[in-house]
């Protein structure tokens, strides 16, 4: 069902972006056509003004003296002799007045030689004649006229629509990023499902022989021959303890794989922090008398949390502080408040964490590569599990190295 919904969302998003892109392209085309019509109107009016000034209002026309022969080619009928210098002056004046800021070239018809005389290539950058040669065809039924071309008209119109083209280009980039993101999400989802299936199959395959080992070991430990031999009893207890430890690791992997698929199931309840932490600390100290755990927490402080998962958070943090300590473990658990919320800190005297590894310690299966970590069994799932529980509760967790020795884990509970 989730995959079907994801496919529907992806399809709708893709259709929406393609629709927006098509609409943008159509708007850009309409804007270009509108700009083209505006340009033609301005040129037509400017040339009409040129004709009017050159004829000094004495010549009347039965039809428009300005003819648009092609998209960038105009023919203007004067019906009177004129001088090229005067024509050039009026062209420059009127084109400047109507803000026609693009290159153009004009030519005049010489009725004596019956051919077009090349005038000048007028540019906005320079006024010297250009080496460009542009053809001007001769027109019948006209005696005194000139022709004008705009060779860079298309470029000029496109530059005037720069914003539209930039917006279209941005939409194309967004579409490509969207497609790439969707492709990446699908690949990651496939990889995640493949990884989860592999973990489930692997752990289930491990549990069957492990159960047999535990049953056989426990039965073996009850034999009189084993009880009478201290060395055999030690070996048997090692097998049982290590089997239980391996079983706990397998259960942790299974739970994380299950939580990745369906999310955590929380049962929030009120927890008085001091007796709760004290009980966990006492349990850990009973197992190892060399551990020093000092607690500085206000007896009135309480939080809302899932008791089972919060217990696991505290156990994981304390367990790491003990395992990654090369001397006698000393842990200080303290709390303080500010206007934002409650801070619960676990300060230890362990090895610390290199700065380059700090950003990855909550990643799944990640372990800091040290000589101590090679001696300690584990899969790098403890802090990943802690991070997941913290996020599910909408809390925050941070880790920083102490100035002297060890690290400080800080849990933040917002009010």
Q: What is the pLDDT of residues 74-93, one digit of tens each?
A: 888 887 777 778 888 888 88
The region that residue 378 occupies, defined by phi over 0 for left and psi between -120 and 50 for alpha, beta otherwise, is left
**Is residue 380 one of the residues assigned to a domain?**
yes
Any domain includes 173: no
Q: What is the mean pLDDT of residues 42-53?
A: 86
Distance CA 189, CA 91 (A): 67
Number of Cβ within 10 Å of residue 157's Cβ equals 18
Statement to judge: residues 155 and 8 lie in one domain: yes
Average pLDDT over residues 388-414: 89
Answer whether residue 248 shows pLDDT above 80: no
Residue ending a domain, choose from 243, 262, 281: 262
- In 267-380, at which residue ranges do the beta strands (DSSP E only) sit? 268-272, 292-296, 302-306, 330-337, 341-347
Looking at the 3D structure of the chain, how many domains does it have? Answer: 3
Task: State the average pLDDT for the chain.
Answer: 80
Domain encompassing residue 65: 2-160
Q: pLDDT-based confidence at 411, cuts 50/70/90?
A: very high
Statement: residue 99 has pLDDT above 90: no
The pLDDT of residue 277 is above 70: yes
pLDDT in the model for residue 52: 82
Lowest mean pLDDT among 6-15, 143-152, 368-377: 368-377
For residues 34-44, average pLDDT: 87
Do residues 145 and 243 both lie within one domain? Answer: no
- One domain, residues 301 and 222: no
Residue where a domain terminates, one of 107, 125, 160: 160
As a whole-number percent, the residues of the chain with pLDDT over 90 amount to 9
- Regarding whether 19 and 155 lie in a shared domain, the answer is yes
pLDDT of amino acid 259 = 61
Average confidence (pLDDT) over 44-69 = 78
Query: DSSP secondary structure string, 37-77?
Result: HHHHHHHHHHHHHHHHHHHTT----SS-SEEEEETTEEEEE
Task: Note the pLDDT of residue 169.
Answer: 81
Instruction: Tell me the C-alpha distance between 377 and 183, whole Å.
Output: 37
Residues 6+ apart with CB under 8 A from 383: 316, 320, 361, 362
Phi and psi, residue 275, nearest 5°:
-65, -30
Q: With 70 as the cut, is the pLDDT of residue 291 above it?
A: yes
The two three-digit tokens of residue 100, written as one number: 């026609």
Alpha-carbon span 232 to 235, nearest angstrom: 5
The reply to whether 385 and 272 lie within a common domain is yes
Most confident of 48-57, 60-69, 389-398: 389-398
Confidence (pLDDT) at 61: 65
Task: Tell me how far apart the alpha carbons of residues 300 and 272 are, in angstroms, rounded to a whole number.
Answer: 7
CATH of the domain at 377: 3.30.565.10
pLDDT at 1: 47
d(C-alpha 39, C-alpha 102), whole Å = 11
* 133 vs 224 pLDDT, higher one: 224
CA separation for the pair 233, 223 (Å, rounded)? 10
Q: What is the mean pLDDT of residues 90-98?
A: 85
pLDDT value at 245 more than 80: no
Tell me how far CA of residue 183 lies from CA of 186, 189, 305, in angstroms.
5, 10, 38
Q: From the centroid of its chain, how far is CA 347? A: 35
Q: Provide the β-strand partners of residue 271.
A: 303
Q: What is the pLDDT of residue 122?
A: 78
User: Is the CB of residue 397 less than 8 Å from the CB of residue 412?
Assistant: yes
- Residue 387 belongs to some domain of the structure: yes
Q: Is the pLDDT of residue 208 over 60?
A: yes
Kindly state the average pLDDT of the residues 358-384.
71
Say yes or no: 256 and 285 in one domain: no
Q: Do 284 and 314 belong together in one domain?
A: yes
Same domain, 298 and 207: no
Between 113 and 356, residue with greater pLDDT: 356
Window from 130-134, 158-162, 347-351 with minimum mean pLDDT: 130-134
Q: Which of 86, 395, 72, 392 is nearest to 255 (CA)?
A: 392
Average pLDDT over residues 342-350: 91
SS3 270: strand
Q: What is the pLDDT of residue 334?
A: 92
Listing from the earlier edge strand, what are the strands of the sheet with 396-401? Answer: 292-296, 330-337, 341-347, 407-414, 396-401
Q: Which of 210, 228, 262 is the last residue of a domain?
A: 262
Residues 256 and 272 in one domain: no
- Position 242 scores a pLDDT of 79
Query: Do residues 90 and 78 make contact, with C-beta atoms less than 8 angstroms apart?
Result: no
């Amino acid at each position: 069902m989730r995959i079907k919904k994801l496919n529907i969302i992806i399809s709708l998003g893709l259709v929406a972006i393609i629709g927006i892109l098509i609409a943008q392209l159509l708007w850009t085309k309409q804007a270009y056509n509108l700009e083209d019509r505006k340009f033609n109107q301005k040129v037509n009016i400017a040339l009409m003004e040129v004709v009017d000034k050159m004829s000094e209002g004495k010549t009347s026309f039965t039809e428009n003296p300005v003819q648009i022969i092609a998209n960038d080619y105009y023919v203007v009928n004067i019906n009177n002799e004129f001088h090229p210098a005067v024509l050039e002056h009026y062209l420059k004046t009127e084109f400047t007045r109507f803000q026609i800021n693009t290159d153009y070239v004009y030519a005049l018809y010489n009725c004596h030689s019956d051919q077009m005389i090349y005038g000048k290539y007028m540019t906005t950058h320079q006024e010297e004649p250009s080496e460009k040669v542009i053809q001007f065809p001769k027109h019948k039924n006209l005696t005194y006229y000139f022709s004008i071309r705009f060779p860079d008209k298309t470029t000029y119109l496109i530059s005037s629509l720069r914003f539209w083209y930039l917006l279209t280009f941005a939409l194309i980039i967004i579409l490509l990023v969207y497609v790439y993101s969707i492709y990446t999400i699908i690949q990651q989802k496939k990889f995640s499902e493949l990884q989860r299936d592999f973990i489930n199959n692997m752990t289930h395959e491990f549990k069957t022989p492990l159960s047999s080992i535990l049953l056989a070991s426990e039965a073996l430990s009850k034999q009189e021959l084993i009880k009478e031999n201290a060395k055999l009893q030690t070996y048997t207890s090692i097998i049982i303890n290590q089997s239980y430890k391996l079983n706990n690791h397998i259960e942790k992997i299974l739970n994380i794989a299950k939580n990745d698929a369906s999310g955590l199931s929380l049962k929030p309840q009120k927890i008085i922090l001091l007796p709760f932490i004290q009980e966990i600390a006492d349990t850990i100290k009973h197992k190892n008398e060399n551990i020093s755990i000092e607690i500085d927490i206000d007896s009135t402080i309480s939080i809302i949390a899932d008791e089972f998962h919060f217990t696991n958070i505290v156990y994981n943090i304390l367990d790491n502080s003990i395992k990654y300590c090369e001397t006698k473990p000393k842990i200080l658990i303290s709390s303080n408040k500010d206007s934002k919320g409650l801070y619960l800190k676990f300060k230890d005297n362990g090895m610390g964490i290199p700065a380059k590894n700090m950003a990855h310690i909550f990643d799944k299966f990640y372990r800091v590569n040290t000589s101590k970590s090679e001696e300690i069994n584990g899969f790098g799932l403890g802090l990943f599990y802690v991070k997941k529980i913290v996020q599910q509760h909408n809390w925050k967790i941070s880790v920083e190295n102490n100035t002297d020795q060890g690290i400080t884990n800080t849990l933040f509970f917002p009010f």
